[in-house]
Structure 1
Amino acid sequence: MTSGTARESSDLRRTRGSGLVIGASIIAAFGGLLFGYDTGVISAAILYIRPEFGFGDSTQEVVVSSLLVGAVVGVIIGGPVSDRAGRRNTLIAVTVLFALATLGCALTPNVGALILARGLLGVAIGVSSLVVPGYIAEMAPPHRRGTLVSLHQFMVTVGILVSYLVGYGLSSTGAWRWMLGVAVLPAAVMFLGLLRLPESPRWLLTHGRQEEARHVLSRTRPPEHVESELTEIRDTVRAEGHITYRELLGPRYRRWISVGVVAAGSSQLVGVNAIIYYAPTILTDAGFGDSGAILASVGIGTLNVLFTIFALVFIDRLGRRPLILGGTAVIIAALAFIGLLFTQPVQGAVSVLLIAALIVYQSAFACSLGIAIWLVNSEIFPNSVRGKAGSFGIVSHWALNFLVSVSVLTLIGLFGGPSGVFWLYGVLGLFGLIYLYRWLPETKNRTLEDIEAELTGPAERQRPTRET
């Protein structure tokens, strides 16, 4: 074989390998689409479910939050299940659960069955929110890992927007069963796509299937990188197996675990899911019509997608700290302004300002705390503890998501209107901003080795530098 032919053959393998990795990432990221759709669609559907079944605020909170209880369970069981059964097989099972639970929601005969079906849907969402980013990270080459893993968050925002569009499109008929049932389609696409994908090389190597791992890497990596990456994965797996959860909570890692938890917690305590789940309800109570309230949510969802794209494009140029901290400051200001607007009758100029403030809030969230949970928890820990350490942040995300969703309508009633609730979210966001300003590291242009050295250094060096 001539050198030119050899180069052409190598280039062809690289192209095919790149295509396989991108395809695998897109198919897996459909889990994010389902995540976003199923969490967002209830905001429109509940306007029509509530009068049909005749329940009040407390039951509405249970209907919405039942999904989140299931999600917490899904996150807890997702790691052990995927470690035992494999990432790909777990995701295949999750798509089946997505489809069955979605049909259960759409065909529910009563509110009790709806709560149960949404709980099962939450289990699927929780498992996928843990396994999808992990599968993509394990399939992707290092230089593309950040972008491809971010597909998950992008697809979450797309799913939320699609749910708002479907809700608006069906609002004239009030066909809430169709709103909920449409999610069967992306679940079917994900299922069929996963059947053609390989298992992750890391999982194969962890279970002693070295030749299969080498085969997968040979399909997705340049030939000269296969053996070195096999060695790197083997070393990482060996190191991770020696770290216990008790050690993670010890002084060596405690500060950095807390950063991941605060980043995830702040993303929920600023009340984003009060808006995702209840914006139409809050707006209709303030005087908007059903279709107008849902249409306003479509605008908010559109900006959510666009500003997530902005964050993905500029995160490596501007740095993590400027986007996360700057965006959080805007979120707090928007919450204060929204609370102020709700002290006035929502009509005329006030209604326009309210929609504008909600758009500013959601846009700032999308390019700051919206990406912080996944980005911070995937970057600040060394490879040897990333999987276990990052799970603390994901569990915090879903647990606090549940607390917000189950309490928002109750708090509105307790405070006598939405104003006090939005101001409460602003105060909680301020506490998170102060903590992250002090401890959030800048990881732009820093190697994992640099971050690990800082993580494991002496106590006086544990406070991170704030690079820009």
Structure 2
Amino acid sequence: MTQSLDVSRRLSGEALTNFIATISATGGLLFGYDTGIISSALLQIREQFHLDTIGSEIVTSAIILGALIGCLGAGGISDRFGRRRTVMLAAALFLGGTALASAAQGVTVLIVSRLILGLAIGAASQIVPIYIAEISPPNRRGRLVVGFQLAIVSGVTISFLTGYFLRDSSWRIMFGIGMLPALILFVGMGFLPNSPRWLALKGRTDEALAVLRRVRSSEEVAQNELQAIIDNHDEQAPWSELAKPWVRPALIASVGIALLCQLTGINAVLYYAPTIFADAGFGQESALLTSVAVGLAMVCATIFGGWAVDNWGRRTLILRLLPGAVISLIVLGAMFALHMKGGAGAWITVIAIMGYTICNTGSLSVAVWLVGAEVYPLSCRGKGMSLVAGSHWGADLLISLTTLSLVQGLGAHMTFWLFALVNAAAFLFVLRYVPETKGQSLEQLEMSLRNGTFAPVHKS
């Protein structure tokens, strides 16, 4: 702990907070890269290991199963051993899983390695947003936590580019590249401080104050924040605390956004973007390059969202952008219903997908980890975020397993219209259940839960 503070002593409070958020967000980069790279690597893996469709699905989905297990297990670990150590554990799993995947000589080892990577991704999705949220000042918490989502979409985009440029190289190199950011995360976290709120929860108030002095603008701000943490302090709560009426509004808002982030179809569109573009009249190589453009659109939308969450607000951002996602999906479904392939129809399809990607990624995907990390009381924040991440990964698994069946059973046009309906339902959900959290400290949000003023009472 002392060593961590000594290493960062030369940095100002704001610079140190930025540095902490940047190193921590490397977990998001690994999250995105390891999730996305399989789409390119699988082309070679299927041929080398003679995988059939079921085998390919198992190799691909093992990482999602691991993520489900990892995010649910990380809550108790982070509560007991601390946020920083849990991130380091995730980094070690990233390193081990990547090394094993790169060296795999058989399908079984490859599946196990993907499962280990899933454990790391699940743990990272649970703990990194909490760690950043608990160390950030209220006025900058939004953009700093959204940095984690920016790292995720950047990782996905890098995986698309890597797959394209290394398409004639070994799939082992594609996997192995992930070891560098994993090493940066593991080593970097060793020099960062613990979460001041976790330290205070453990009764280590002197250490908590030492951290706050380093990451806040003045001694007075640090002292006042520590006092607010202590005033709201209670013992580490069991899982049953999440079911209590006073916590339930936070549970509904955060888990609802986590589920809708996936059920609105963003990953389904991303997974099958090359196929959609090919069906619209683009050649296979052009379809792959257009998918890279979708990835870049996600990055731009997330950068914008990182600005908007602290200027517009979390709730307002979602309510302003989701209607655009609904309209884009209606247009996309119409293109398939009218069989408009090639020419103007192809470009309308591209514009519709880009519009949907920007509006959905820039709203729900930006807010999912941020809202989950900030709405729970300190006593059960780790466990609450485990449920948020678990809901996210469970819905991801459901969408991954059913999208092709929906397309085959309903047709592409009806599938996109169904997703449009879910996006509209997401708008109504946020309008009813998700309050604005912009500019409020974590302790103020906890107090609003305790006094019953958490839920929104009027439209933004």
Do both proteins adopt the same fold according to a TM-score greater than 0.5, normalized to the shorter chain?
A: yes
Please tell me whether residue 404 in structure 1 is matched to residue 399 in structure 2: yes
CA separation in 2, counterparts of 1:189 and 1:386? 27
The residue aligned with 1:81 is 77
Question: What one-letter code is carried by the residue in structure 1 that aligns with 2:432?
Answer: R
- Which of 87, 90, 94 pairs up with 1:94? 90
Gaps of 5+ in 2: 1-7
The residue aligned with 1:351 is 346
- From the superposition, tell whether residues 366 and 108 of structure 1 become closer, same or farther in structure 2 (CA, over 3 Å): same
Q: What are the superposed Cα offsets for residues 15-35 of structure 1, whole Å, 9 maximum, x if unpaired?
A: 533332221211111001111
Please tell me whether residue 312 in structure 1 is matched to residue 306 in structure 2: yes
Q: Does the residue aligned with 2:161 lie in a helix, a strand or coil?
A: helix
Q: Does the residue aligned with 1:141 lie in a helix, a strand or coil?
A: coil
The answer (yes or no) to whether the contact 2:135–2:196 under 8 Å persists in 1 is yes
The 5-angstrom pairing of residues 221-370 of structure 1 reads: 221=216, 222-236=218-232, 238-239=233-234, 241=236, 243-284=237-278, 288-343=282-337, 344=339, 346-370=341-365
Please tell me whether residue 466 in structure 1 is matched to residue 428 in structure 2: no
The root-mean-square deviation of aligned C-alpha atoms, in Å, is 2.9
Question: What one-letter code is carried by the residue in structure 1 that aligns with 2:175?
Answer: L
Question: What one-letter code is carried by the residue in structure 2 that aligns with 1:466?
Answer: H
Question: What one-letter code is carried by the residue in structure 1 that aligns with 2:187?
Answer: L
- Which of 30, 34, 39 pairs up with 2:26? 30
The answer (yes or no) to whether the contact 1:24–1:136 under 8 Å persists in 2 is yes
1:299 to partner: Cα distance: 0.3
CA separation in 1, counterparts of 2:368 and 2:47? 36
- From the superposition, tell whether residues 378 and 162 of structure 1 become closer, same or farther in structure 2 (CA, over 3 Å): same
- From the superposition, tell whether residues 277 and 354 of structure 1 become closer, same or farther in structure 2 (CA, over 3 Å): same
CA separation in 1, counterparts of 2:209 and 2:249? 37
Q: What are the superposed Cα offsets for residues 81-108 of structure 1, whole Å, 9 maximum, x if unpaired?
A: 1222222222222212102212222333
Question: What one-letter code is carried by the residue in structure 1 that aligns with 2:75?
Answer: G
The 5-angstrom pairing of residues 123-202 of structure 1 reads: 123-171=119-167, 173=168, 175-202=170-197
- From the superposition, tell whether residues 22 and 217 of structure 1 become closer, same or farther in structure 2 (CA, over 3 Å): same
- From the superposition, tell whether residues 294 and 105 of structure 1 become closer, same or farther in structure 2 (CA, over 3 Å): farther
CA separation in 2, counterparts of 1:24 and 1:419? 45
Question: What one-letter code is carried by the residue in structure 1 that aligns with 2:114?
Answer: R
- From the superposition, tell whether residues 287 and 120 of structure 1 become closer, same or farther in structure 2 (CA, over 3 Å): farther
- Number of aligned residues: 451
The answer (yes or no) to whether the contact 2:314–2:436 under 8 Å persists in 1 is yes
Please tell me whether residue 118 in structure 1 is matched to residue 110 in structure 2: no
The answer (yes or no) to whether the contact 2:83–2:195 under 8 Å persists in 1 is yes
CA separation in 1, counterparts of 2:116 and 2:34? 12
The answer (yes or no) to whether the contact 2:201–2:234 under 8 Å persists in 1 is no
CA separation in 2, counterparts of 1:419 and 1:55? 31
Q: Does the residue aligned with 2:71 lie in a helix, a strand or coil?
A: helix
TM-score by length of 2: 0.87
CA separation in 1, counterparts of 2:203 and 2:394? 35
Gaps of 5+ in 1: 1-11
- Which of 403, 418, 426 pairs up with 2:420? 426
CA separation in 2, counterparts of 1:160 and 1:447? 31
Q: Does the residue aligned with 2:140 lie in a helix, a strand or coil?
A: helix
1:387 to partner: Cα distance: 4.2
Q: What are the superposed Cα offsets for residues 251-302 of structure 1, whole Å, 9 maximum, x if unpaired?
A: 3333442222221111100111113333234445666444322211110011
Q: Does the residue aligned with 1:109 lie in a helix, a strand or coil?
A: coil
- Which of 389, 392, 397 pairs up with 2:387? 392
- From the superposition, tell whether residues 253 and 87 of structure 1 become closer, same or farther in structure 2 (CA, over 3 Å): closer
Q: What are the superposed Cα offsets for residues 339-381 of structure 1, whole Å, 9 maximum, x if unpaired?
A: 2323426433332222221111111112211112123324444
Q: Which moved more, 1:127-136 or 1:438-447?
A: 438-447
Q: Does the residue aligned with 1:188 lie in a helix, a strand or coil?
A: helix
CA separation in 1, counterparts of 2:422 and 2:138? 36
The answer (yes or no) to whether the contact 1:373–1:394 under 8 Å persists in 2 is no
Q: Does the residue aligned with 2:124 lie in a helix, a strand or coil?
A: helix
The answer (yes or no) to whether the contact 2:130–2:374 under 8 Å persists in 1 is no
The answer (yes or no) to whether the contact 2:330–2:416 under 8 Å persists in 1 is yes
The residue aligned with 2:67 is 71
TM-score by length of 1: 0.86
- From the superposition, tell whether residues 414 and 179 of structure 1 become closer, same or farther in structure 2 (CA, over 3 Å): farther
Q: What are the superposed Cα offsets for residues 178-198 of structure 1, whole Å, 9 maximum, x if unpaired?
A: 222211111112122122222
Q: What are the superposed Cα offsets for residues 375-397 of structure 1, whole Å, 9 maximum, x if unpaired?
A: 33244445555444444322211
Percent of pairs with identical residues: 40
The residue aligned with 1:49 is 45
CA separation in 2, counterparts of 1:106 and 1:231? 49
The residue aligned with 2:4 is none
CA separation in 2, counterparts of 1:140 and 1:93? 22
The residue aligned with 1:108 is 104
CA separation in 2, counterparts of 1:24 and 1:182? 23
